[in-house]
Amino acid sequence: MTKYRLSLPATTPEEADPQAKIVLDDAKTNMGMVPNMYANMANSPGLLTTYSDGYNRFRENSGFSPAEQETVLLTISRHNGCAYCMAAHSMIADKVSGVAADDLKALRNGETLPDDKLNCLNVFTRHLLESHGLPGEDEVKQFLAAGYTERHILEIVLAMAVKLLSNYSNHLFETKVDDAFADYTWSTV
């Protein structure tokens, strides 16, 4: 099967729909750049604004630490095979969120994490993905015993929804990894 690639051009803030322009301008202000992913997603203002709103809400209100947030986001992106998001979140995990090098390596390789609590989060997130949101009672009990709450389960669902938007968009566009994330390039091969 030949994979289809969208041919829509990347969108600049100057040519973007007013809703998308707000997100692109905020990205440029906060990150010093408009990520390629955002420029592609701006072709659908609803897609970009929904992604941005959900992503920001997960970051600000999930109750997860920055390292836990990256664990969730990397677990989902790896599961979905998104090279772009694996590179971006690996850089954030390493440079911003304080994920230990051994834990980041394990997340990128799909291995057991040395940090027990982060490993529990990784395993539960994978289970939630693989079960299509139908976790078993034993898996939930283990997750709760690690110090997480039922609300954290819902926050993982939010992250799954947000990553579905970005991961699938990146697949459709074959989004080129930005130079800022290039040192963290990842491949499914």
**In this structure, what CATH number is given to the domain that contains residue 51?**
1.20.1290.10
- 137-145 and 150-173 helices, crossing angle to 10°: 110
> Low-confidence residues of the chain, pLDDT below 70?
189
Q: Is residue 5 part of a domain?
A: no
For the chain, the domain total comes to 1
d(CA 36, CA 168): 14
Residue 16 per-residue DSSP state: S
Q: Is residue 11 part of a domain?
A: no
Q: Is residue 1 part of a domain?
A: no
| Helix, strand, coil abundance in the chain, percent, nearest 5 | 65, 0, 35
Q: Is residue 189 part of a domain?
A: no
Q: Is residue 99 part of a domain?
A: yes
Task: Note if the pTM is more than 0.85.
Answer: yes
Q: Is residue 10 part of a domain?
A: no
Q: What is the span of the domain harbouring residue 95?
A: 18-184
Q: Is residue 12 part of a domain?
A: no
What is the reported pLDDT for 188? 80
Q: Is residue 72 part of a domain?
A: yes
Cβ contact 85:171 at 8 Å: no
What is the reported pLDDT for 53? 98
Residue 18 per-residue DSSP state: H
